[in-house]
């Protein structure tokens, strides 16, 4: 695409930010603009999640962004993350806007916690087939898939736990990570309490307060800006057959994520690369089991083979497919996937704390179990 991410910004990641969600959004956007070497007056587009509480106009007011010609929101929770960049890139390509900032900010730990049962969500007619039956948390909804996956492929709780161990290992050397300097062992994972069997506490990502913003502009303009741009090689959304939000239980096969399959096909086709060309994978990791399914859906290994692929060491920093070098959402922070995109940009720039050598292409995915999105970032 004729678009690049030219600036990244974030607040601190905490459990109690002590400030409003709007302030977090404004701080993150300002930091991203500073990083891009641009002014608020350069911005004419804003994109966020429908779940974000910060209206585009409110963010524009705080930043002193005078006029907007493009503003948009993307639906389906964390599935929106990479799609915000797709929206921005399309706006830049079509001339709808020249500089678009994507942002996500929340007090997800000190304020509204997604991990609690959202009684109000049962008002949604789709949710009336799950919430009243007692299935009302994201962890439990993923656990239903995970149990079937274990049944069909013989995967174990330890196989899920290895993802948590890798993420926490990477977070341990990332000073911005909440779990900096706090790695875990597989035994720690196995000793952690049940949340929704077969998911343990350490299969579930943390809850965080914070904000992340990304600045997108055209490839031409990107070349004139101070930081090395991350070219948006491909960006796509995906929704699959008989799609629900978190509860797509009525498809033939519960061991897959067809919506991520749609994303994978789109990314490989548009970018012209394939799984073997990916140097770093930033895979959405709100719950460990779906990282295994993503590895299969994206074509890094065969169906049911993710557990063996992981055991081979492929996801280590020196492996064939380094996973979440920033620590992911299990280790760094839960920012609805936006911090993962920022890490993708750093890996392309060569400025990450856990930098992988000679990065040509980074794959980033968004929320799983929901209609989702993905990005291939690379050198311009």
Partner 1 sequence: MTDKAAIEKEAARIAEQGECAPRLARDPVNQPMINNWLEAIGDEHPGYTGTAPPAMVQVWTMAGLHGQRTLDDPLGAMMSILDEAGYTSVVATNSDQTYHRYLKVGEHLSVTTSLEDVTGPKRTGLGEGWFVTTRSTWWVGDEAVAEMRFRVLKFKPAHAPRPETASAQSSTPAVQPAPPEVQAIRPSVNRDTEYFWEGTRQGELRIQRCGGCGLLRHPPGPMCPECGATKPKYLVSEGYGVVYSYVVHHHPQVPGKQTPFVIALIELDEGVRMLGELDGVPSVGQRVEVVFTKVDDDLTMPSWRPRADR
We find the least distance from the C-beta atom of residue 22 to partner 1, in angstroms, to be: 23
196 forms part of the interface with partner 1 (CB under 8 A): yes
Contact 212, 176 (CB under 8 A): no
Q: Which stretch binds partner 1 (CB under 8 A): 98-106, 111-119, 281-289, 310-318?
A: 111-119
Residue 148, interface with partner 1 (CB under 8 A)?
Answer: yes
Q: How far is the CB of 166 from partner 1 (least distance, A)?
A: 24
> Closest CB to partner 1 among 54 and 255?
255
Q: How far apart are CA 43 and CA 68, in angstroms?
A: 7
Residues contacting partner 1: total by CB under 8 A? 37
Please report whether residue 368 would count as binding partner 1 according to CB under 8 A: no
Which of 56-64, 126-134, 173-181, 182-190 is the region at the interface with partner 1 (rule: CB under 8 A)?
126-134
- Binders of partner 1 in range 220-279 (CB under 8 A): 247, 249-250, 254
Q: Mark residue 360 as left, alpha or beta (left: phi above 0; alpha: psi -120 to 50; beta: remaining).
A: alpha
Nearer to partner 1, 87 or 137 (CB): 137
Residue closer to partner 1 (CB basis): 148 or 180? 148
Site for partner 1 contains 370 (CB under 8 A): no
Minimal distance, residue 244 CB to partner 1, in Å:
8
DSSP-assigned states of every residue in 353-367 = TTPPSS--EEEEE--
**Span of 82-90, 139-147, 170-178, 351-359 interacting with partner 1 by CB under 8 A:** 139-147
Write out the E strands in 227-325: 230-238, 280-282
Can residue 75 be called a binding residue for partner 1 (CB under 8 A)?
Answer: no
Distance CA 341, CA 326 (A): 11
Asked if 117 interacts with partner 1 (CB under 8 A), we say yes
Distance (Å) of CA 203 to CA 113, 174, 198, 340: 17, 20, 9, 18
> Site for partner 1 (CB under 8 A): which residue of 111, 136, 261, 275?
136
Residue 190 interacts with partner 1 (CB under 8 A): yes or no = no
Residue/partner pairs of 177-180 with CB below 8 Å, 24 or more apart: 177/13, 177/326, 177/327, 177/331, 177/332, 177/333, 178/13, 178/14, 178/15, 178/206, 178/208, 178/331, 178/332, 178/333, 179/206, 179/327, 179/330, 179/331, 179/332
Q: Pick the stretch among 130-138, 208-216, 270-278, 295-303 that binds partner 1 (CB under 8 A).
A: 130-138
Active site residue 334: yes
Q: Is 357 in the site for partner 1 (CB under 8 A)?
A: no
Cβ–Cβ contacts within 10 Å for residue 308, how many? 13
284 annotated active-site: yes
Are 167 and 324 within 8 A, CB to CB? yes
Tokens representing 265 are 């096909």
| Residue written as token pair 């012209």 | 272
Residue 156 makes contact with partner 1 by CB under 8 A: no
Contacting partner 1 (CB under 8 A), which of 124, 156, 185, 190?
124
Residue 70, SS3 per DSSP = strand
Q: Applying CB under 8 A, does 144 fall inside the site for partner 1?
A: yes
Residue 103 CB contacts under 8 Å (≥ 6 apart), including other chains: 25, 28, 29, 32, 46, 47, 48, 52, 54, 59, 211, 212, 213, 214, 338
- Identified catalytic residue from 76, 149, 153, 284: 284
Q: How far is the CB of 168 from partner 1 (least distance, A)?
A: 20
CB nearer partner 1, residue 90 or residue 196: 196
| Catalytic site positions | 284, 334
Enumerate binding residues for partner 1 (CB under 8 A).
113, 115-117, 119, 122-137, 140, 143-145, 147-148, 151, 193-197, 247, 249-250, 254
């Amino acid at each position: 695409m004729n678009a690049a991410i030219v600036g990244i910004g974030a607040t601190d990641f905490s459990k109690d930010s002590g400030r409003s969600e709007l302030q977090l959004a404004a701080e993150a956007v300002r930091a991203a603009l500073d990083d891009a070497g641009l002014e608020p007056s350069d911005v004419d587009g804003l994109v966020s999640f429908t779940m974000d509480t910060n209206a585009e106009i409110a963010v524009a007011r705080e930043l002193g962004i005078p006029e907007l010609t493009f503003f948009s929101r993307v639906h389906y929770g964390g599935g929106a993350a990479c799609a915000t960049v797709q929206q921005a890139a399309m706006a830049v390509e079509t001339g709808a806007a020249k500089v678009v900032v994507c942002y996500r900010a929340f007090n997800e730990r000190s304020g509204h916690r997604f991990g609690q049962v959202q009684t109000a969500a049962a008002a949604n007619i789709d949710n009336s087939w799950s919430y009243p039956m007692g299935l009302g948390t994201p962890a439990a909804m993923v656990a239903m898939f995970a149990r079937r996956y274990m049944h069909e492929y013989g995967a174990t709780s330890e196989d899920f736990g290895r993802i948590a161990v890798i993420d926490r290992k990477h977070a341990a050397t990332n000073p911005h990570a909440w779990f900096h300097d706090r790695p875990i062992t597989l035994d720690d994972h196995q000793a952690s309490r049940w949340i929704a069997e077969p998911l343990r506490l350490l299969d579930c990502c943390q809850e965080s307060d914070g904000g992340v913003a990304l600045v997108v502009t055209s490839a031409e303009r990107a070349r004139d800006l101070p930081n090395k741009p991350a070219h948006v090689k491909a960006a796509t959304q995906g929704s699959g057959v008989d799609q629900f939000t978190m509860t797509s239980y009525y498809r033939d096969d519960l061991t897959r994520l067809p919506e991520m399959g749609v994303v994978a096909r789109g990314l490989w086709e548009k970018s012209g690369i394939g799984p073997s060309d990916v140097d770093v994978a930033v895979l959405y990791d709100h719950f460990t089991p779906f990282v295994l399914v993503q590895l299969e859906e994206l074509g890094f290994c065969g169906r049911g083979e993710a557990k063996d692929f992981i055991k081979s060491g492929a996801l280590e920093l020196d492996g064939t497919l380094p996973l979440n070098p920033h620590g992911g959402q299990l280790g760094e922070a839960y920012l609805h996937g936006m911090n993962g995109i920022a890490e993708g940009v750093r890996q392309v720039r060569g400025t990450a704390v856990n930098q992988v050598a000679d990065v040509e292409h980074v794959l980033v995915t968004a929320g799983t179990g929901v209609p989702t999105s993905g990005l291939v970032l690379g050198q311009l």
